[in-house]
Amino acid sequence: MLALTATATEVTRKDIALSLRIKPEDIIRLNHEHLRANLQPSISRISSASFFERQNALFDVIQKTVFKRCKSIIVYCSFVRQTESITGEMRRRGFKVGCYHGGLSDKERQRTQDDFLNNKIRIVVATMAFGLGLDKGDVTGIIHFGLPKSPEQYIQEIGRAGRNGSQAYCHAFVDESEYICLRSLAHSNAVDKVLSLQHLAEIFFTDLLVQRRHLS
């Protein structure tokens, strides 16, 4: 049995090893703590920018920066409606672009992926559903229209660029309010100790009061 994972936190790795009874000496971990040297990350701060302002900023990045020389580009969005809106506007402006998200049929998604692999389209605007197992070495541009949900997701997605060793560019639009929201969601599955104790106190203290009143 061989268990493989591309990007995982220490907690996830330990959980996998425990579930599959993998001994510590049988775990092989490659050290990828640093980004590959051929990946050049950059950001744009867009605090309080509307969707259309951010969309125009995206077009400027693609047309007026190093991305205009990129042969193949993936634009990652957080929401389906963003991928469709951006794809439609790009087509109106003459870009060779495809749309990819989980709401499309298998046939539509496969056609977009095939067109991208065969260089019939230069850009794919997609949700995180796109890129798993993608074997295309000449992807030299990754743009995040919004922040990914976690650092692991970001690292995994920009890792799809520059696989042929050439210089690749990774740009992200950063909105502080969006960052705060994502950070909150990342911790939303945790149990708050204070609230838990208050909840338990309400349950058991109320039961105790009822019992005392009944006895009296």
What are the residue ranges spanned by the domains of the chain? 1-30, 35-174
β 168-174/97-100 pair status: unpaired
The 8 Å CB, 24+ separation contacts for 109-117 are: 116/72
Q: Name residue, tokens 């990754």.
A: 142
> Does the structure show a pLDDT above 70 at 192?
no
DSSP string, 10-70: HHHHHHHHHHHT--GGG-------S--TTEEEEEEE-TT--HHHHHHHHHHHHHHSGGGG-
Q: What is the pLDDT of residues 73-98, one digit of tens each?
A: 999 998 899 999 999 999 999 999 99
- Give the CATH number of domain 35-174: 3.40.50.300
% of the chain with per-residue pLDDT over 90: 46
Phi and psi angles of residue 101, each rounded to the nearest 5 degrees, phi first: -160, 170
Q: How far apart are CA 44 and CA 60, in angstroms?
A: 12
